[in-house]
């Protein structure tokens, strides 16, 4: 059974700091891993998608890495801003049945 774990569950950091969010998964047979952002009561916004053959993806201040063999992904946020405050979810797409499994998310609060 595929399990996706995100650590920490919650994180508060001062504005301007760089930070790393972690995601681990138990079954390495995946098509891809996707990082999302969710504001309270809202839908999910896709941040980065990493295919299983890729090692990392970058978009602006965000960099996501994938180590499929060890079942880990990280989301690096540079120069954090108060507007980055949200819940960050990672999701893996399982290759054996094409199902998408989400982690429980990391609630990020950037202190002004």
Partner 1 sequence: DTEVTQTPKHLVMGMTNKKSLKCEQHMGHRAMYWYKQKAKKPPELMFVYSYEKLSINESVPSRFSPECPNSSLLNLHLHALQPEDSALYLCASSQAGTGIYEQYFGPGTRLTVT
Binding site for partner 1 (CB under 8 A): 31-32, 34, 36, 41-46, 49, 51, 89, 91, 93-95, 97-100, 102-105
Q: Which is nearer to partner 1, 21 or 89 (CB)?
A: 89
What is the CB neighbour count within 10 angstroms for residue 44? Answer: 14
CB 52 within 8 A of CB 76: no
Q: Which is nearer to partner 1, 61 or 96 (CB)?
A: 96
**Residue 40 Cα distances to 9, 14, 23, 44, 107, angstroms:** 15, 20, 21, 10, 10
Terminal CA-CA length for the chain: 41
Q: Which is nearer to partner 1, 18 or 96 (CB)?
A: 96
The CB-of-91 to partner 1 minimum distance in angstroms stands at 8
CB 37 within 8 A of CB 20: no
The CB-of-8 to partner 1 minimum distance in angstroms stands at 15
The CB-of-111 to partner 1 minimum distance in angstroms stands at 21
């Amino acid at each position: 059974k595929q399990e996706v774990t995100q650590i920490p569950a919650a994180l508060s950091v001062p504005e301007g700091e760089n930070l790393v969010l972690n995601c681990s998964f138990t079954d390495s047979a995946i098509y891809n891993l996707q990082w999302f952002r969710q504001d309270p009561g809202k839908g999910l916004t896709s941040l980065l998608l990493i295919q299983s053959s890729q090692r990392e993806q970058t978009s602006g201040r965000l960099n996501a890495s994938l180590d499929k063999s060890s079942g880990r992904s990280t989301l690096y946020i540079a120069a954090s801003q108060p507007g980055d405050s949200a819940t960050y979810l990672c999701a893996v797409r399982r290759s054996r049945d094409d199902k998408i499994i989400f982690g429980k998310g990391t609630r990020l609060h950037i202190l002004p």
